[in-house]
Structure 1
Amino acid sequence: MDIFKFGGASIKNADGVRNVANIIRDYKKGNLLVVVSAMGKITNRLEDLNDAFLSQSEDTHNIFEEIKLFHFSIIEELFKGKPNPVFDDVANTFVEIEWLIEDEADENAEYIYDQIVSIGEVVSTKIIAAWLNETGSKTLWADARNYIQTDNTYKEGKVDWAKTNQTIQKDLVPLLADQIVVTQGFIGGTSENYTTTLGREGSDYSAAIFASCLDAAALTIWKDVPGVLNADPKWFDETEKIAQLSYHDAIELTYYGATVIHPKTIKPLQNKGIPLFVRSFIEPKGSGTAITKDNNPLPVPSFIFKVNQALVSIFPKDYSFIIEENLSNIFELFHKHKIKINTMLNSAISFSVSVDDHAGQIEKLINDLSGEFTVKYNKGLELVTIRYYNQQTIDRVTIDKDILLEVKSRHTCQMVMKNRYLT
């Protein structure tokens, strides 16, 4: 039993769907579960639709029509006008949104988000399953909401592992005996049959959940890169593919912001010793990257860049020490405002953190912190993390930069920096 996961970039158009079908058709090892994201940038457009509906914007129905047209144009190009049940199936799926946006937005906003944005995965998988059947691969479409069971935390559903494992073993395993099964990433279901999502970019995590519960031989995530690279090509002209990674290094890299793999993906696989392969859907015969239990250090330093950072420094108003009680209060406020700390450093009388500068969130946090603390902050910064650093790698990324905060451990260096010539 293997799991394949395909993201939106792999199915952004009809040619992408054909390519994915070819990769699946060439798989000849046995049972296969295919986990698929929404097509292209559709999740972004569905988020735009959600925002427009919540604000009762006049653009709501225009955005919705654009989303429908995008999908139906792909179906038309694939099937060339030939009758296929997928036309009605997708149309009926979109009716769920039509019913929702015809009413006023009087439900919980996060609940509404999950009901709207989840449709991207439902529709994409219906199209993929239909095309696989059309091209000779016996395929069944399955609804992930029937298997991945979560609580009612909308936008960040917490998985009920015991119930999920029981349901997958009982209901999904029999379906995989003699056919390919296509299902959705990113989404789950509650005990009341409401849709939840597992957090932005959560399709990798979905695939890992299925892999863990099915005791899969391997999970392969198909990307538009040849494997895990030691740096993002948009920041470095020269990058190197890492042929093999340990679970530990993969967890570290995703925690610090590497975008190739979702941060929650690794742990379920590590718990079961399931290897993760990152391969290219552009060059599917390439070797990619293997992430396994073998605990070898990275062969080259890895660089992770996060821009649009805010550096927030917190001081007790009476210049007393930063102690456990202060830190407890501070972390409680960060949790309240759902702000993730990317790096932190504390001294006797200060506590400094680098966080993503989401519009409006930082100001609300600072307002709450200011009741008890003196707060200073800088915006427009970047955070660079180097895994397996040395002085040469530090010098490489600090040219014309002022370092405002630096945190080092044995293998990892993090620096919050600003452009020296920025006015």
Structure 2
Amino acid sequence: MKVFKFGGASLKTPERIRHVASIIRSHATSDLLVVVSAMGKTTDLLETLVATNRTPQTMTDARLALKKYHYDIIDALFKDTSFVRAAVDVQLEEIADTLASSLEGDLLYDQVVSKGELISSVILHHYFATEGIKSHWLDARTCISTDSSFREGKVDWTLTATNVQPLVPLLKENIVITQGFIGRTPDGFTTTLGREGSDYTAAIFTSTLGAESLTIWKDVAGVMNADPKRFPSPVVFEELPFKEAAEMTYYGANVIHPKTIKPLANKNIPLLVKNFDDPSLPGTRIHECTVDQLPPLIVFKDNQCLISCKVTDYTFISEEQLSIIFHALSELDIRINLMQNSAISFSFCIDFRESKVIKLIGRLQKRFEVYYNTGLTLITIKNYDEATFDTYRKQPGVMMEQSSRSTLQVLVKTGNP
């Protein structure tokens, strides 16, 4: 049994959807579970709907764009479009009903934004049927059980492991197609697992089913030591240890979702990152192994916020003050990407999510003088050598710098480099 995952970029056009079908046809006719993301920029459109709820003209434009985008794909893929359009219309009507309801905040977000994956999987399931690929459509929410942490659903692994077991005999006869990114609370609300969380969903299914491997199909040749959009000649890793890959995702490498590695490593199940456009390329195998002399890994993480808390009574930063700061971070479910303290201040770098940052600053201002900067980029160089260490320490606009035996981190104003 294997698990494949296809992201939004692999599904954004009719031509790419046809290519997905050809990849699946060439690999297996059963014992394969396929996890899909929303098509193209669908999630962005759905986020716009949530953000502009109660703003009639903007909402109307976004709804029309959402419908037209998926209808155009359907028209290109199917001779008889009526039954597929009808299936998609059900999801679009549910979006409209949800937006008109009394739900709000992150709860509303999850009920609306989750529809992208449902629409995507419905279209693919029907297209597979026209191509003679026998598939079973599965609502991932019947398997992935989470708590009520909307937008960051925490998986109930015991219940989820139980829920997936009926899939084992089903997979013997069918390819199963399901959605990434989504789960369900015990009281029936949809949750999402974090932005770009479909990789994580695929890892959950792979782990709980005890699959042979997970393959993530990407628009790159494999896992690289740097973003090819920022570096002209990055190195493609043939293989990587689980630990190295986990650290890469922690620091912000976006080729794999940060939560993907742990469930696979716990079961010693390899993760394959393969090239969607040229499946013949070897890609990268992430597994339990040892690789000597890895090249420097360079990760850029944009949209960062630097917050500094300064004590107001000339006392030093102590465990008591740090406890207050970390308690506020924990309550708001905010992770620190870099931190540093002096005698009278504590500074830390976090992802800039405006609503959470505003709440955090409000809490901290009750005890500290708080200063903050936004629009920053965190650069992490893991396994640095002398050349990369010197280069990145000398970047213009450095606001914070920290190094250890193997890792250098530099926080710079956006635009540098």
Tell whether the structures are fold-level matches, with TM greater than 0.5: yes
Find the counterpart in structure 1 of residue 154 from structure 2. 158
- Residues 306 and 120 from structure 1, CA distance in 2 versus in 1: closer, same or farther, beyond 3 angstroms? same
Deviations 1:139-196 (A, max 9, x none): 1111101111112222221111111000101x22221111111000001112233211
For residue 171 of structure 2, the aligned residue among 161, 167, 176 is 176
Q: Distance in 2 between matches of 1:16 and 1:69?
A: 18
Change (3 A) 1:88 1:421: closer
Q: Which residue is equivalent to 2:61?
A: 62
Which residue number in structure 1 is paired with residue 281 of structure 2? 286
1:304 maps to what in 2? 299
- Aligned equivalents of 1:215, 1:25: Cα separation in 2: 23
| Cα deviation, residue 235, structure 1 | 1.8
One-letter code of the match for 1:96?
E
Partner of 1:317: 312
The equivalent of 2:87 in structure 1 is 89
SS at match of 2:298: strand
Alpha-carbon distance between aligned partners in 1 of 2:313 and 2:47, rounded to the nearest angstrom: 44
Aligned pairs for 1:6-21 within 5 A: 6-21=6-21
**TM-score when normalising by structure 1:** 0.93
Aligned pairs for 1:356-371 within 5 A: 356-359=351-354, 361-371=356-366
Report how far residue 356 of structure 1 moved. 2.6
* Secondary structure, aligned partner of 1:65: helix
Question: Conserved in 1, the CA contact under 8 Å of 2:30 and 2:172?
Answer: no
CA contact (8 A) 2:304 2:350 kept: yes
Unaligned runs of 5+ in 2: none
Deviations, residues 302-333 of structure 1 (Å, cap 9, x unaligned): 10112333322222222323222211100122
3-state DSSP class of the match of 1:85?
A: helix
Query: Runs in 1 of length 4+ with deviation above 6 angstroms?
Result: 419-422
Q: Where does residue 238 of structure 1 map in the other structure?
A: 233
CA distance in 2, matches of 1:189, 1:324: 39
Q: Tell me the C-alpha RMSD between the 2 structures.
A: 2.1
In the other structure, the counterpart of 1:99 is: 97
Range that drifts further, 369-378 or 64-73: 369-378
**How far has the Cα of 1:46 moved from its partner?**
0.5
Specify the code of the residue in structure 2 equivalent to 1:62: D
- What's the offset of the Cα at 1:390? 2.1
Paired position in structure 2 for 1:115: 111
1:253-303 residue CA offsets vs partner (Å, 9 max, x unmatched): 101111000001100001000000111101111111111011325621110
Percent sequence identity over matched residues? Answer: 46
* Number of aligned residues: 417
Instruction: Tell me which residue corresponds to 2:207.
Output: 212
Decide whether the 8 Å contact of 1:5 with 1:222 is kept in 2. Answer: yes
- Relative distance call for 1:357 and 1:197 in structure 2 (3 A) is closer
1:83 Cα deviation (Å)?
Answer: 5.2
Residue identity opposite 1:25 in structure 2: R
User: How much has 1:363 moved relative to structure 2?
Assistant: 4.5
Q: 2:128 matched to 1:129? A: no
Secondary structure at the aligned position of 2:62 is classed as helix
Contact 2:29 2:175 in 1 (8 A): no
Partners of 2:188 and 2:256 in 1: CA distance: 29
User: Counterpart of 2:222?
Assistant: 227
Q: Secondary structure at the match of 2:27?
A: coil
How far apart are the structure 1 equivalents of 2:249 and 2:360?
A: 25
Query: In the alignment, what sits opposite 1:49?
Result: 49
Question: SS where residue 229 of structure 1 aligns?
Answer: coil
Extract unaligned runs of 5+ from structure 1: none
TM-score by length of 2: 0.94
Contact 1:245 1:298 in 2 (8 A): no
Q: Which whole-Å deviations, capped at 9, do the CAs of 1:49-92 have from their partners, x for residues lacking one?
A: 11222x4433223311221111111011001x325632322222
